[in-house]
Chain A
Amino acid sequence: MVAHPRATARAHRLRPLNQAKPIEVEADESGEPWGVVLERERLVVAAVQDRWRIDDEWWREQPVSRLYFSVLLGGGRTLTIYRDLVTGRWFQQNYA
């Protein structure tokens, strides 16, 4: 990554990075994920390693309210997913 150029940002040229991608998630009644579909393959969630919630931009028309889960899948892979608490939809997104 390079340092901030300190130049005026040309907003029309800015392209989003790390956009959330919709993902198919199977969750139980409490909202805990127990299965995800990745590349048309159904994978079982072996463990939920971490969970956290972010609420932001509540003053806007579309506030941000997400419940993130860091899950360990059956094959040993870890994945970060979140449930949009406004729409109820699931997304995958890196959260570093």
Chain B
Amino acid sequence: MRLACVWLPHFPIAIERRNSPALNRRPVIIGETTEQRGAVLDCSAEAEGQGVRVGMPLRQALGLCPSASFLPPDLPRYGDAFDQILRALETMSPLVDPAALGCAFIGLGGLNGHYRDEMALGDALAQVVRRASGLMPSIGLAEGKFTAQVAATVSAPGEVCLVPPRQGRKFLAPIDVSLLPCSRDTLRHLELFGLRTMGDLASLPLGAVQAQFGAEGRRIWDLARGIDREPLRPLRREESIREHLAFYAPLISREALVTAGRQLLTRLLGQPAMRGRAARRMTLRALLSDGRSWERAIVFREATSDREQMLCVLKTAVETAPLTAPIEELSIELSGFAGETGKQEGFCSGDRRRQPQVAEAVHQLKARYGRSPVLQVVEVEPWSRIPERRHALIDYDP
């Protein structure tokens, strides 16, 4: 199947730079700075040039590139930005497979008829991404995910690299083996064996590669020959509803945040989409005044449409949230919809304040009729195989 790979290298860095142009052309490193043991989540090409690598301990990165701007990761914002791109791509094809932040595959089946040729189709994909995000992607078109991704990786932003059908092996032959998705150990061994390009690897007999690298050897040998059997896994969107509230003056107190949450929940539960339905999941997002964001996804113990129950969960989340700055905007998203289920309250397990009233009413009825007309079910032999032995009714006598 013909696929396109939309590639936005160093996506988190690109988003940070889009929001703060002062970071352009400077080494930038994103990593969790609250802990000394944090690792590098992403780094700019300038930092890479000084030896910094993704996954490296932050301390080591600081030693290699002391002049870099160190930023804490803002995963909700990167996720939102990438989701906007995916939604834009979905306007072109229903087969959009988000592989990772900044990398998506698009199934091209049925699209060719709409464009002059595949180059025009690639250009259209790039323009869609640019309009949605302001970022220019590289586009690779090929058969199979790996070849398409390599084609995108070796292209400059805004370029379209087209690998004609059945030309995957020829295209990959001069490419460095470091682009193969394999372990560091395997890469080191490939280098030790003098196998520098995919062409070198593809020219070896399969048995020899398998004998040396096992199952991984089979996979990289296939990939080097342009054979990738990994299927496209199109994104399946889940129905959700979302409401947000922007504050005129940023909120400082958590109590005010809970009040805002109550208002949002009232709005959400009043929407037609929630009529007769309950939600399984609630996602809270807050935009902080320092430009960062906070996100917390909560799965309820059971699907609910009860505002007070949702609010109780929201309160706990807000109380424990590590909010480092005043909040400018709050949004709540409900998803995972289910049919509303009736919930039978226990006669005795409800509001404790009502129990004396119930007891008084039962005593009154007993005085009037000589016995309590209210009965309760009790377990007698719940283990019995004979159904009528398991439970019985007994006078409710509080």
- Residues of A whose CB lies within 8 Å of any CB of B are 1-5, 9-10, 13-20, 54, 56-57, 64, 93-96
How distant is the Cα of A1 from the Cα of B348 in the complex, in angstroms?
A: 10
Q: Which residues of A contact B392 (CB under 8 A)?
A: 14-17
State which size class the interface on B falls in: 20 to 34
Q: Do B348 and A2 have beta carbons less than 8 Å apart? A: yes
Closest Cβ of chain A to B92, distance in Å, is 47
Q: Do A2 and B385 have beta carbons less than 8 Å apart? A: no
9-residue interface stretch from B81-89, B334-342, B375-383: B375-383
Q: Do A14 and B385 have beta carbons less than 8 Å apart? A: no
Given A13-B394, A13-B395, decide whether A5 and B378 contact each other with a Cβ distance below 8 A.
Answer: yes
Given A2-B347, A2-B377, A56-B386, decide whether A17 and B395 contact each other with a Cβ distance below 8 A.
Answer: no
Secondary structure at the A interface, as helix, strand, loop or mixed, is loop
Closest Cβ of chain A to B343, distance in Å, is 14
Given A2-B346, A15-B394, A18-B391, decide whether A64 and B386 contact each other with a Cβ distance below 8 A.
Answer: yes
The contact sample of 20 A-B pairs, CB cut-off 8 A, is: A1-B377, A1-B379, A1-B391, A3-B379, A4-B378, A5-B378, A14-B378, A14-B392, A14-B393, A14-B394, A15-B375, A15-B392, A16-B388, A16-B393, A18-B388, A18-B390, A20-B387, A56-B386, A94-B387, A96-B387
Greatest chain A CB density within 10 A among B347, B384, B385, B387 is at B387
Closest Cβ of chain B to A89, distance in Å, is 15
Q: Which residues of B contact A95 (CB under 8 A)?
A: 387
Contact flags B355-389 to A (C-beta < 8 A → 1, else 0) = 00000000000000000000111111000111110
Q: Which residues of B contact A94 (CB under 8 A)?
A: 387
Closest Cβ of chain B to A53, distance in Å, is 10
Closest Cβ of chain B to A4, distance in Å, is 5
Known: A2-B347, A5-B378, A19-B388. 11 other contacts (CB 8 A): A2-B377, A3-B379, A9-B378, A14-B380, A15-B394, A16-B393, A17-B392, A56-B385, A57-B386, A94-B387, A96-B387
User: Sorted from nearest, which 7 A-B pairs have the closest CB atoms?
Assistant: A15-B393, A14-B392, A17-B391, A54-B385, A4-B379, A1-B377, A18-B388
How distant is the Cα of A24 from the Cα of B312 in the complex, in angstroms?
A: 54
How distant is the Cα of A54 from the Cα of B387 in the complex, in angstroms?
A: 11
The B6-40 residues at the A interface (CB cut-off 8 A) are: none
